Structure 1
Amino acid sequence: MTPVDRILRTILPRSLYGRSFLMIVAPLVVLLGLSTYLFYNRHWDNVTRHMTLAVAGDIALTVEVLRNYPEGEERDRLLRLIQVYTDIRFDFRPGEILPNAGRRTVNTLLERMMTSALDSRVYRPFVLDAVSDENWVIIDVQLQDGVLGVKVPRKRVTSATTYIFIMWLIGISLTLMIVAMIFLRNQMRSLRRLASAADNLGKGRDDLAGFKPSGATEVRQVAHAFIRMRDRIHRQVNQRTEMLAGVSHDLRTPLTRMKLQLALMPPSPDVAELEADVEEMTRMVEGYLAFARGEGAEEPAVLADLAQLVQQVVFRARGLSDARIDLKGADHAMVLVRTQAFRRCLGNVIDNAIRHADRVEVTILPGRQSIQVLIDDDGPGIPADLRVEAFRPFRRLDDTGPVAEAGTGLASGITGVGLGLAIARDVMRGHGGDIRLEDSPLGGLRVVLDLPV
């Protein structure tokens, strides 16, 4: 990535709303700037030059009147007449001389134009002041026998239409930007609703009752595609569950007949071994069916206190084991959760911990984006290269080094079939979260349950 790309990525907005608004506003601002610049340099410059030349011509005419009528009532009458028709005030101060301080620095367009006009028409020394009075432009012209004071109304040398044009241009631009903002906000609202519906579906909150496609044609197409995808997912899950329920029913019938036949047979070591095999087969069938159902996928999510759910599972685990189980963290943490499914998920993890450890710590860590439940133990743990294997269904790690079984649970009724962590991960992902394994500060394994808020 080049430095320019990095700078643009830092400056430019990241949201679709911001980028769309920028695509509308940027050309509008450029057009406004160019229009104002060209109008200022062309129209305003020409208008101001013509107006200042007209005023300079009136002043030059007055200077000629004073030169031809140096005194008397005729000169005064002509000055009053010029003042009436030109709207310029004249004040002749005989015997006065302008101070020899040089010309003031010219800064504004009006001063620049007025100076150029006076130089081209009057041909006499003068002092120009276009700043001190907001209503008048004051000019002192040096004559042979005195100073001619001139007060020119500012409206004679400036055009008000220039400011009106600029204000109209800015007003129209702001109006268009406001309309664009409202239009884009309405379009983005449809995308936000679609994003919220997709996020809820990913978190297992499959409630699309208030969602319907809206907005532009492309947004509606995406919304319809999302609804069709959701329906296909539901059909696939239902078909899988129905198929496995049928398989389970078909397998239960011969298993039941085998149990009855074994019960009628006289007790013997062979019969006891066969009964154990039948019980194990029954547990495997029940466990596979529970795993395939998605573990609580049909249970509605409700707003519950996660701290109380964790406390209930911990208290139950304490009654089933001699291991030390400590509970830390927040006392209250409200979150949308499937209570039965989460109890089973947490029960599977805690049961796996107390099976191989003497001390277990359960910690609740609330956050802005998610709530984490940490389960630490001081057991043998699971090597990092085997942690992915631990989540595979029917995968046990008892024979691969450290004893850490990927299965069983307090609430499941399925022991030793290698489904505990697989079901736990299925439950967490059904809530839009995840589960991961890390090294524990206690020396064993840390299981992190990450549940989105």
Structure 2
Amino acid sequence: MINKIIPQTMTGQINLLVLGALLIPQIFSLFIFLDDRSNTVELAYRRQIAQQVITTIKLLKSTQSDEHNRIFNIINNRSFNASIVPSSSIKAIPKKSYSASRFKMMLSRLLNYKSDEIIIENLPKNTKTKFQNDETNILSNWLIYIKLDDQVWVRFIIRTATDDDTITTSDFFIIMGLCFFVFIIITQIMNIRLVKPLINLTKDVTKLKQNKDYKISVQNGPLEIKHLAKNFNKMQKHLNQFSHDRTQMLAAISHDLLTPVTTLRLRCEMIMDQALKEKFLQTLEQMESMIKTTLSFARTDVMNENTRTVEIGALLESIADDFINLGKHIIFNNNQHPILLECRPIALKRAITNILNNAFQYGNIAHIESQKDEHDLIITIKDNGPGIPEDKFEEVFKPFTRLDPSRNAEQGSVGLGLSITRNIIKAHGGSLKLQNLSEGGLKVSIILPLNG
């Protein structure tokens, strides 16, 4: 379940990791910020209101009642409204909120008033309150009644100041969202610098299968990736040197082995007994064939051929024509749409020819066709032979493996045909697949990548 949620790519995992590392602290910071901000703003606002209320009460007590209206006209505004109400209109507030109780204690202490001489109600923000003898509803957050004398009280209608000039919760989320957006862009840029060289390195390593001399180059990216590419090139150089040394050694062995065989062939011409002479020559021909086949398998001449783009249908058709000219029964279904493949055509032709030789060695009809999907070219070769036991599928690709030793020996085979074929296909970055047909015979599938 977790594997389905977590991105499988390095880019996705880096984004998820960094995003989570940033998001979780931000969420905690948001709650702490909002709580602290709310408490700080509330305390500051209470002090401001308390100062205004105390100043108003002191001013009213120090002036005559006929001056009260003039004072109210001066101090009243959109968020602070004071007026005189008769004592008979005052009703106790049945429920007191915690914040109202704290505010009442503050005013009682500062004004030196008794508890029953102050009534405070804390209303939800921008509550519309209808007062007796008032013609309109008044938006209020605090209702404060403070006793001025036995006859009258002062009613304060306090409206919380708007947050137009402060950062609200929604503003905070918008700012945080913009920060995340910028963060994602920066993360993507870093991912491109970190992950793209890895992707290119993977592609370059894949190309090594098709071209042993291909050099991996990482121009941008972290130093570690550049070192990795450099070490890949060193490893490839060592492998190429080893392959070259082996080829040189086998070339010398080829010369040393073929020279005595040639000498023996000349001496056979001096044998007077014709029957004995033919047996010697037949044995020498088998030895020479075995030596050449073995050396052909050991050499990496397939890697020395330059790659070029060919139309695979034309290549298969030329192979089919060669077998038809030899009197073989071969059926070739040409794909109507041209399929272009970057390959070593001589080596690939040799691999397909080896498979067809096996097909005609055990059967008398071969069927060859090609098709492609999104990524691969698939060449299939079918025969009407006895097939191969499934437990021998891997074994037939091993060098010097002959499922029918007596029959192969008669035809000069040493069991290297399919080994050579698989080496060629692997050198192209492809693979071989064997399958027994239900109607009898063997199906060989050559799978080659179209993207090189």
* TM-score range normalised by the length of the shorter chain: 0.7 to 0.9
From 331, 351, 354, the equivalent of 1:325 is 331
1-side partners of 2:172 and 2:125: how far apart?
27
For residue 424 of structure 2, what is the aligned residue in structure 1?
427
Cα distance, 1:159–1:431 mapped onto 2, change above 3 Å: same
Greater Cα offset, 58-67 or 176-185: 58-67
For the residue of structure 2 that corresponds to 1:296, the secondary structure is helix
Alignment of 1:431-442 (within 5 A): 431-442=428-439
From 441, 446, 449, the equivalent of 1:449 is 446
Cα distance, 1:33–1:125 mapped onto 2, change above 3 Å: closer
From 25, 29, 54, the equivalent of 1:31 is 25
AA aligned to 1:183 is: M
> Structure 2: 5+ residue runs without aligned partners?
108-117, 129-137, 146-151
Cα distance, 1:117–1:361 mapped onto 2, change above 3 Å: farther
AA aligned to 1:299 is: E
AA aligned to 1:12 is: I
For residue 4 of structure 1, what is the aligned residue in structure 2?
none
1-side partners of 2:232 and 2:120: how far apart?
83
From 201, 208, 211, the equivalent of 1:205 is 211
Alignment of 1:239-250 (within 5 A): 239-250=245-256
> Structure 1: 5+ residue runs without aligned partners?
1-6, 107-111, 409-414
1-side partners of 2:120 and 2:63: how far apart?
17
AA aligned to 2:251 is: A
For residue 192 of structure 1, what is the aligned residue in structure 2?
199
TM-score, length of structure 1 as denominator length = 0.77
> Percent identity of the aligned residues?
21
Cα distance, 1:56–1:148 mapped onto 2, change above 3 Å: closer
For residue 6 of structure 2, what is the aligned residue in structure 1?
12
Contact 1:437 1:448 survives alignment (8 Å): yes
Cα distance, 1:166–1:262 mapped onto 2, change above 3 Å: same
AA aligned to 1:435 is: L
Shift of 1:230: 0.5
Alignment deviations for residues 173-217 of structure 1 (CA, whole Å, 9 cap, x no partner): 654554343223212232223212211112x22353462476334
Greater Cα offset, 262-271 or 340-349: 262-271
For the residue of structure 1 that corresponds to 2:76, the secondary structure is helix
For residue 360 of structure 1, what is the aligned residue in structure 2?
366
2-side partners of 1:406 and 1:424: how far apart?
19
Contact 1:328 1:361 survives alignment (8 Å): no
Shift of 1:364: 2.0
Alignment of 1:133-282 (within 5 A): 138-139=140-141, 141=143, 151-155=159-163, 159-160=166-167, 174-202=181-209, 204-209=210-215, 211-212=217-218, 215-263=221-269, 265-266=271-272, 268-282=274-288
Alignment deviations for residues 234-288 of structure 1 (CA, whole Å, 9 cap, x no partner): 1111111111111111222222223333345557111112112222222112111
For residue 113 of structure 2, what is the aligned residue in structure 1?
none
AA aligned to 1:294 is: T
2-side partners of 1:433 and 1:315: how far apart?
25
2-side partners of 1:346 and 1:288: how far apart?
19
For the residue of structure 1 that corresponds to 2:374, the secondary structure is coil
Shift of 1:330: 6.1
Alignment of 1:116-131 (within 5 A): 123-124=119-120, 128-130=124-126
1-side partners of 2:84 and 2:440: how far apart?
104
- CA RMSD for the aligned pairs? 4.2
2-side partners of 1:194 and 1:69: how far apart?
88
Contact 2:99 2:122 survives alignment (8 Å): no
For residue 90 of structure 1, what is the aligned residue in structure 2?
81
For residue 377 of structure 2, what is the aligned residue in structure 1?
371
**What stretches of structure 1 move > 4 A for 4+ residues in a row?**
58-73, 91-95, 112-122, 124-129, 139-152, 161-177, 264-267, 405-408
The answer to whether 1:79 aligns with 2:72 is yes
Cα distance, 1:194–1:152 mapped onto 2, change above 3 Å: closer
Alignment deviations for residues 145-193 of structure 1 (CA, whole Å, 9 cap, x no partner): 998765543149x843887777666655654554343223212232223
For the residue of structure 1 that corresponds to 2:377, the secondary structure is strand
Greater Cα offset, 441-450 or 335-344: 441-450
Contact 1:115 1:128 survives alignment (8 Å): no
TM-score, length of structure 2 as denominator length = 0.77
AA aligned to 1:186 is: R
Greater Cα offset, 365-374 or 233-242: 365-374
2-side partners of 1:69 and 1:34: how far apart?
51
For residue 40 of structure 2, what is the aligned residue in structure 1?
47
Contact 1:364 1:371 survives alignment (8 Å): yes
Contact 1:323 1:357 survives alignment (8 Å): no
Contact 1:291 1:419 survives alignment (8 Å): yes
2-side partners of 1:92 and 1:440: how far apart?
103
2-side partners of 1:219 and 1:90: how far apart?
71
Q: How many residues align?
A: 423
Greater Cα offset, 72-81 or 244-253: 72-81
For the residue of structure 1 that corresponds to 2:119, the secondary structure is coil
Cα distance, 1:351–1:71 mapped onto 2, change above 3 Å: farther
Greater Cα offset, 45-54 or 373-382: 45-54
1-side partners of 2:375 and 2:153: how far apart?
88
Contact 2:315 2:349 survives alignment (8 Å): yes
2-side partners of 1:426 and 1:181: how far apart?
41
User: Which entry has the higher C-alpha Rg, 1 or 2?
Assistant: 2
For residue 306 of structure 1, what is the aligned residue in structure 2?
312
Shift of 1:64: 5.5
Shift of 1:40: 1.5
1-side partners of 2:169 and 2:221: how far apart?
42
AA aligned to 1:418 is: G
Shift of 1:140: 7.9
1-side partners of 2:26 and 2:410: how far apart?
69
Shift of 1:339: 0.9
Contact 1:213 1:219 survives alignment (8 Å): no
1-side partners of 2:289 and 2:313: how far apart?
31
2-side partners of 1:35 and 1:266: how far apart?
106
Greater Cα offset, 136-145 or 216-225: 136-145
